[in-house]
Amino acid sequence: MASSYGSSSCGVERFGSLLKQMLVWSLLLIAAEPALAQAPAASIVAPIKMVVLGDSLSAGFGLSGADAFPAKLQKALKARGIDVDVTNAGVSGDTASGGRDRLDWSVPQGTQAVIVELGANDALRGIDPAITRAALADIVKRLKARGIAVMLCGMLAPPNDGADFAARFNSIYPDLAKAYDVPLYAFFLEGVAADPKLNQADGMHPTAEGVDIIVKNILPSVEAFLGSISRHAS
């Protein structure tokens, strides 16, 4: 055993050389650690989380989910290079007060933007515009208090409601947009309302082709809205 150990001197020398190399590499790594720590990690940009809080007009009454406004809006935005997840929080028959009452569970934590499309049923039912105004104002205030960006979609009262009602109702949206400094798309059904070819048999709810027109018309406004969110986040 003694002679065998004594004859391994070359192996011991090689082992010692290996230890020196490992020590050098360790010192180099230690010296590089601050630079590595400062190196920027690859940034992963998550899609913008957006909710459409609305009634049957945005929910997609009489249409498939893929033909509803939120789904088609998301598709159009992604085609423009805007990564966004759009949640359909439309409830058929809902009023502005109904949207306010379900606001907390309809707009979950993590939401960054909300498009508010409410009020058509208020006008159809002749609900006092003061009630509609108060409900929409509360929605905007509560969302802004949560740090969520808001875009209002306006609605117009039907002619049979009378001039006084129409004046009180139609002024709600521009007034709130100005008061709370939020963007406004003046009339959600722009280019579609009263066109039989773009509405279902009831004359009120857009067809899939009608939704395409709505998305095309509102798209520049939504792009600007989401662009302002990106600038504030950067």
Q: Supply 60's token pair.
A: 């997609």
Selected catalytic residue, list 58, 94, 106, 205: 205
Residues 6+ apart with CB under 8 A from 125: 95
For 98, other C-beta atoms within 10 Å of its C-beta total: 16
In angstroms, the CA 103 to CA 124 distance is 22
Please pick, among 55, 56, 97, 161, the residue that the annotation labels catalytic: 56
Q: How far apart are CA 157 and CA 160, in angstroms?
A: 8
7 in catalytic set:
no
Is position 202 annotated as part of the catalytic site?
A: yes
For CA atoms 224, 71, 78, 42, the dihedral sign is positive
CA distances from 170 to 73, 141, 176, 221 (A): 25, 20, 11, 20
Q: Which of 64, 202, 232, 234 is catalytic?
A: 202
| Residues annotated as catalytic (active site), given as ranges | 56, 202, 205
